[in-house]
């Protein structure tokens, strides 16, 4: 886990995301923002599912997982309980 969070604007193309963010700051998943609001998550596995020739015209918002679909977690949640829930429900990402 990192304290230096790298956000991805929802309006940029997948091509720009990969070139300007993922290649510079390699992580498996990135939080997506609309303005200054958390909007969801995007993973490199989601990007790879889009044909490379379409990256330049495909916005991040079209591929990302919206926050409403991710299991919510609060700072007060017990970390082991969250991990158990992630494993039980087969969730790799949480919000």
Q: How confident is the model at residue 88 (pLDDT cuts 50, 70, 90)?
A: confident
Contact predicate 17/60, CB 8 Å: yes
Q: Which residues contact 13 (CB under 8 A, 6 or more apart)?
A: 55, 56, 57, 58, 59, 60
Q: Is the pLDDT of residue 85 over 90?
A: no
**What are the tens digits of pLDDT across the range 37-81?**
999 999 999 999 999 999 999 999 999 999 988 878 888 988 888
Q: What is the pLDDT of residue 72?
A: 81
**What are the tens digits of pLDDT across the range 29-39?**
999 999 999 99
Q: Is the pLDDT of residue 86 over 80?
A: no
Q: What is the pLDDT of residue 2?
A: 62
Q: What is the pLDDT of residue 12?
A: 98
């Amino acid at each position: 886990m990192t304290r230096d969070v790298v956000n991805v604007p929802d309006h940029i193309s997948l091509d720009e995301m990969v070139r300007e963010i993922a290649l510079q700051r390699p992580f498996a998943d990135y939080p997506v923002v609309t303005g200054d609001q958390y909007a969801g998550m995007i993973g490199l596995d989601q990007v790879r599912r889009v044909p490379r020739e379409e990256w330049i015209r495909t916005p991040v918002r079209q591929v990302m997982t919206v926050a409403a679909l991710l299991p919510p977690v609060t700072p007060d949640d017990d970390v082991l309980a969250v991990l158990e829930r992630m494993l039980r429900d087969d969730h790799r990402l949480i919000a």
